[in-house]
Structure 1
């Protein structure tokens, strides 16, 4: 195997901002492996939540975040490290906590093992609500049931580290 270093892109932002759609276009353009947090781990997370007697659509509770946040992200990082020797990789996930940490990008780069090109995908909250309603995912029902409360828990701010800003409103 060669020692060529391929680009690693991180696409982050709030739910329904258009991260997956943007990442698919980017992956097609770059010929990259696309690792979307929802697609890579969704079935396992749902099974684990059911086994634990919890709501399989829970993605916002403290219990979910304590049990699944790190394993989901570590799975993405491990897959990225595995695929980077063969080509570019795009990792998609909210990464909201890291966005507020001055060393958040450096921490992500440490987990991937190389520099990361960050993309922050954002859109107006009213448009995000419309998109969430249109996609009809049961895991979004708790967000829609208390939209104003949910918005107060969402990180709307751009990451405090270098990134490409993408407004999909």
Structure 2
């Protein structure tokens, strides 16, 4: 959907950094993701949303609205902050080899300057350490996080 919308707006299908993407496309992309989650939750199907939510989780009011909307429906919500350093992130992005990451890799210093990897969101969250060489494997951390969420 994102790629087709970008093309229809005269942009590159892999754009994830321009103002057009950030102001026009990303909000629609995330709204569709949230609406899909609500559709599932409304019929009793659990949902795990896998997206950065960087902007949203830094906005305490956004997260409070989400928590309130979920609470009104008897739904538990948990945010997971995936901690990662720029060096590990670059390796993961290079390995992923996704066309949408070409700008990030070509403009690494600019991309990293826009990240805040050292400060987790102020909202309630669990942390998973995704840095290369983390003391506990990502799989074990994920299992632990899911146990905490589900209990």
TM superposition score category, shorter chain reference: 0.7 to 0.9
- 2:123 is aligned to 161
Could you tell which deviates more after superposition, 98-107 or 60-69? 98-107
User: What secondary structure does 2:100 align onto?
Assistant: helix
User: What secondary structure does 1:120 align onto?
Assistant: strand
- 1:98 is aligned to 56
Choose between structure 1 and 2 for higher RCO, CA contacts under 8 A separated by at least 6 residues: 1
Looking at structure 2, the residues matched to 78 and 150 of structure 1 have their Cα atoms a distance apart, in angstroms, of 29
Q: Structure 2: where are the runs of 5+ without partners?
A: 132-151
Looking at structure 2, the residues matched to 111 and 65 of structure 1 have their Cα atoms a distance apart, in angstroms, of 25
Q: Going by fraction, where is helix more abundant, 1 or 2?
A: 2
Q: Structure 1: where are the runs of 5+ without partners?
A: 1-43
Instruction: Give TM-score, length-normalised by structure 2.
Output: 0.75
Root-mean-square deviation over aligned CA pairs = 1.7
Using the TM superposition, give the Cα deviation of residue 70 of structure 1 relative to its aligned residue in structure 2, in angstroms: 1.6
Looking at structure 1, the residues matched to 99 and 111 of structure 2 have their Cα atoms a distance apart, in angstroms, of 15
Q: How many residues align?
A: 126
Instruction: Give TM-score, length-normalised by structure 1.
Output: 0.68
Q: Going by fraction, where is strand more abundant, 1 or 2?
A: 1
